[in-house]
Amino acid sequence: MRQIGEKPYDGFHSYNFINVHRNDGISLDTMVDWVQSAGYAVQRIDNHAEWVRRFEEKLRNLTEQDRQ
């Protein structure tokens, strides 16, 4: 039986992670801090409703092909 992950794709990468040490004090905010300290631009949006609005707007502005 072939697994989905065995099929190679060009031009697309997906990275997933899970923290199996749930009580180690490492939160999503901590990980975002690490990304930011590595030099990547990060804009934090404190208001969840605003974050959802912006996310949906970005999705709507994608081409149909990119949305798929």
Domain boundaries, the chain: 9-67
> In this predicted structure, what is the pLDDT of residue 27?
83
- Residues 13 and 5: their CA atoms lie apart, in Å, by 11
Give me the pLDDT at residue 40, please.
94
| C-alpha dist (Å) from residue 63 to 12, 38, 47, 67, 68 | 16, 30, 27, 6, 9
Helix (H) or strand (E) holding 1: none
Per-residue pLDDT tens digits of the chain, which is 68 residues long: 445 556 666 777 777 777 677 777 888 888 899 999 999 999 999 999 999 999 999 999 999 888 88
Segments of the chain assigned E as strands: none
The residue among 19, 46, 21 whose CA lies nearest residue 31 is 19
